[in-house]
Amino acid sequence: MKIEIYPTAAAAEQAVVSKILAQVAQNPQSVLGLATGGTMEAVYGGLISAHERTGTSFAGCASFNLDEYLDLSANDPNSYRSYMESKFFDHVDLPRDRCYLPDVGPDPEASAARYENLIREVGPVDLQLLGIGGNGHIGFNEPLTPFSTTTHVTDLSPKTIEANARYFVHKNEVPRRAITMGIATILSARSVVLLATGRQKASAILAAIKGPKTERCPASALQGHESVTFVLDSLAGSALEDVSLYAIS
């Protein structure tokens, strides 16, 4: 496990952008695992600017998003497909027919199984980008999700509904269910980069990195992955005792 702590959120975000660009430079046919959420917005901004300013091409790549809400239509502005289109896909040359998200058809269980099979067929994912919930979730794998789960239908925890309510007019509009890659799916990626910024992530980061490997903190499953990097700003890293060991100025 590698831990990198940057003085600011902007520096941490830029470090993640550089890792993704390095992956695509090293293998232009990379399969990227993508995440949504507030933390990732600057990462997509950085990738778009690399595409526009230096001609970085994603034309040979494919992408798999971690998750998608159920009970919203795919073109609802709050769907993760809409997020990805407006914040990334519309601005780069990643072929649209290879930008995969779980589909929200009439049979979610079947959609989840199809998505898992597709990841196995097109993958493995070369670089999986992750954020982390304040409760330690990765994707929508909430606390107590077994580490052996593959892509599945899940209920959002009350804490996640609360956290995501900021994007909706009323809290009761936040979907209660989602399809998410499972923890085993996430661990099948060749490499994982988890980005966390802000003090509200500090205790989840502490549990993920230093706590026991336990289903109470889904992100602690990453302790078992052979190539995982936690990229943090100083606030997200502030609960770690030996911060200076990982500091990057």
Given the structure tokens 């600057």, which residue do they identify? Answer: 42
Q: Catalytic one among 142, 152, 215, 233?
A: 142
Span of 14-22, 95-103, 104-112, 134-142 interacting with ligand F6R by CB under 6 A:
134-142
Known catalytic residue at 173: no
- What residues from 50 to 89 belong to the interface with ligand F6R (CB under 6 A)? 66-67
Which residue, 47 or 249, has its beta carbon nearer to ligand F6R? 47
Total residues belonging to the chain: 249
DSSP three-state, residue 162: helix
Span of 2-10, 37-45, 103-111, 235-243 interacting with ligand F6R by CB under 6 A:
37-45
Given the structure tokens 């890792």, which residue do they identify? Answer: 19
Which residue, 38 or 224, has its beta carbon nearer to ligand F6R? 38
| Strand-strand pairing, 62-65 and 2-6 | unpaired
Known catalytic residue at 135: yes
Span of 31-39, 105-113, 116-124, 150-158 interacting with ligand F6R by CB under 6 A:
31-39
- Residue 109 C-alpha from the chain's centroid: 21
Q: Which of 16, 32, 35, 179 binds ligand F6R (CB under 6 A)?
A: 35
Shortest distance in whole angstroms from residue 148 CB to ligand F6R: 19
222 is an interface residue for ligand F6R by CB under 6 A:
no
- What residues from 92 to 131 belong to the interface with ligand F6R (CB under 6 A)? 131
Span of 33-41, 86-94, 104-112, 119-127 interacting with ligand F6R by CB under 6 A:
33-41
Q: Catalytic one among 4, 51, 137, 215?
A: 137
135 is an interface residue for ligand F6R by CB under 6 A:
no
Beta bridge partners of 192: 128, 228
Shortest distance in whole angstroms from residue 38 CB to ligand F6R: 4
CA–CA dist 138, 154 (Å, integer): 13
36 is an interface residue for ligand F6R by CB under 6 A:
yes
- For the chain, what percentages of helix, strand and coil (3-state, to nearest 5) are there? 40, 20, 40
Closest CA to 195 of 249, 246, 133: 133
# residues contacting ligand F6R (CB under 6 A): 14
- The single-letter DSSP state of residue 157 is P
Which residue, 62 or 194, has its beta carbon nearer to ligand F6R? 194
CA–CA dist 154, 176 (Å, integer): 9
CA–CA dist 52, 49 (Å, integer): 5
| Strand-strand pairing, 67-69 and 177-180 | antiparallel
Q: Can the peptide bond before residue 77 be classed as cis, meaning omega within 30 degrees of 0? A: no
Which residue, 39 or 151, has its beta carbon nearer to ligand F6R? 39
Record the tokens describing residue 235, joined without a space. 């606030």
Binding site for ligand F6R (CB under 6 A): 35-39, 66-67, 131-133, 137-140
